[in-house]
């Protein structure tokens, strides 16, 4: 009977596509004939997933952008709800995108469909009243970070912490030499720029990051600059920005973010999952983010955490430099980047801290998540 399960997955962005692909792969070992449908990206599709809508239509950030796209988002959610109900799905899993997915999960659960949410909303950081909605929306919460599991247990919500799948998947050694060979790079210093996977992120950060790289290159004439574009659409955005610069030697990659990070000496990147990837691959990083004046003003009044970068959140201290909104300036970013190039002893100390954090995140990843979902499905 399990082989015929219909499992819905709704992923919110590129990082969700990666998690979804790993989860599908693990679930197929239990249910080889299961059907996987919903919203996902190329990595999930490679695992046999059928996406009803393009992934990037759900990739929205902040307060203002979702409001602009609200009619489209509501129409998508209504369509997904009808599809999952009409086709009598057994389980629907929302990956991240809590403002979209929790509402969908709640309606589906009320219809008798089992639901799970993969990647906890930052409910421990802000809008803690959402815990009531979460309790009524999901049969299981799957968290990536250990301290999140404790929060849900205290609120009597079924939960399992699986660690971050990347902690299992990414090799402990970064393979810098091999990555540089694949990218045809020399042994000269390498700076990787990662301005985000969303259109709004690239719009706000690409010029700032390229400006920073230009100033770093004035100090390191042999500096090699790599930009892995998250999608073809983001590549076009970055190319348009680069037209305003006399930089003929900047390499833009089609995806390959892990390869780019592996090749890097330093990574300048937006806040998000990529900060965790850089940490797991033992790379010094400088984190920056711009939400927009209005969105940042609203969020800063209600957020209960001190840091945005995941490495800093995990240790509750400024382990890596992060510069948000008004502090996201060349005056702050360039010296922080150059500090890593100029002070190898600082890099060695940072990598030792990374190793300890890495080990704490190895809790089973996709396989552990799949086992928890199998128990949920088989629990009649």
pTM reported for the whole predicted model: 0.73
The pLDDT averaged over each successive group of 10 residues in the chain (380 residues) is 83 89 96 96 96 83 63 93 98 93 96 96 70 94 89 93 84 76 95 92 94 96 96 94 86 94 97 90 94 62 73 93 93 98 96 93 91 90
The two tokens of residue 25 are: 């792969």
Full strand arrangement of the beta sheet holding 190-194: 251-254, 224-229, 190-194, 266-270, 285-289, 322-324
Question: At CB < 8 A and 24+ separation, what contacts does 26-32 make?
Answer: 26/366, 26/367, 26/369, 26/370, 27/370, 27/373, 27/374, 29/370, 30/2, 30/370, 30/374, 31/2, 31/3, 31/5, 31/7, 32/3
Domains delineated in the chain: 2-163+363-378 (3.40.50.2000), 176-360 (3.40.50.2000)
pLDDT at 297: 57
């Amino acid at each position: 009977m399990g082989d015929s399960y219909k499992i819905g997955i709704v992923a919110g962005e590129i990082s969700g596509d990666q998690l979804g692909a790993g989860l599908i792969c693990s679930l197929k070992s239990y249910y080889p004939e299961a059907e996987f449908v919903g919203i996902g990206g190329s990595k999930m599709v490679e695992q046999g997933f059928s996406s009803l809508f393009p992934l990037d239509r759900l990739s929205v950030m902040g307060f203002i952008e979702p409001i602009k796209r609200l009619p489209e988002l509501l129409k998508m959610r209504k369509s997904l709800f009808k599809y999952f109900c009409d086709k009598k799905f057994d389980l629907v899993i929302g990956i991240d995108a809590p403002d979209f997915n929790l509402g969908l999960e709640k309606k589906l659960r009320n219809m008798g469909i089992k639901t799970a949410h993969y990647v906890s909303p930052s409910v421990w950081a802000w809008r803690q009243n959402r815990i009531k909605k979460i309790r009524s929306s999901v049969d299981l919460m799957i968290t990536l970070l250990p301290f999140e599991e404790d929060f849900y247990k205290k609120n009597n919500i079924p939960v399992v912490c699986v660690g971050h799948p990347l902690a299992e998947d990414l090799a402990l050694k970064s393979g810098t030499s091999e990555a540089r060979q694949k990218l045809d790079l020399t042994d000269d210093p390498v700076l990787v720029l990662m301005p985000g996977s969303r259109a709004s992120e690239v719009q706000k950060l690409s010029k700032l990051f390229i400006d920073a790289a230009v100033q770093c290159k004035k100090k390191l004439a042999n500096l090699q600059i790599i930009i892995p574009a998250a999608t073809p659409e983001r590549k076009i955005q970055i190319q348009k920005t680069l037209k305003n610069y006399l930089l003929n030697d900047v390499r833009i990659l089609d995806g390959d973010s892990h390869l780019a990070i592996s090749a890097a000496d330093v990574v300048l990147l937006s806040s998000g999952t990529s900060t965790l990837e850089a940490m797991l691959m033992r790379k010094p990083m400088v984190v920056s983010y711009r939400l927009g004046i209005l969105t940042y003003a609203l969020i800063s009044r209600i957020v209960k955490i001190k840091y945005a970068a995941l490495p800093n959140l995990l240790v509750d201290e400024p382990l890596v430099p992060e510069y948000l909104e008004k502090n996201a300036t060349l005056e702050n970013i360039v010296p922080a980047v150059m500090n890593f190039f100029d002070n190898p002893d600082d890099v060695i100390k940072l990598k030792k801290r990374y190793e300890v954090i890495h080990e704490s995140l190895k809790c089973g990843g996709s396989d552990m998540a799949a086992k928890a979902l199998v128990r949920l499905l088989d629990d009649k």
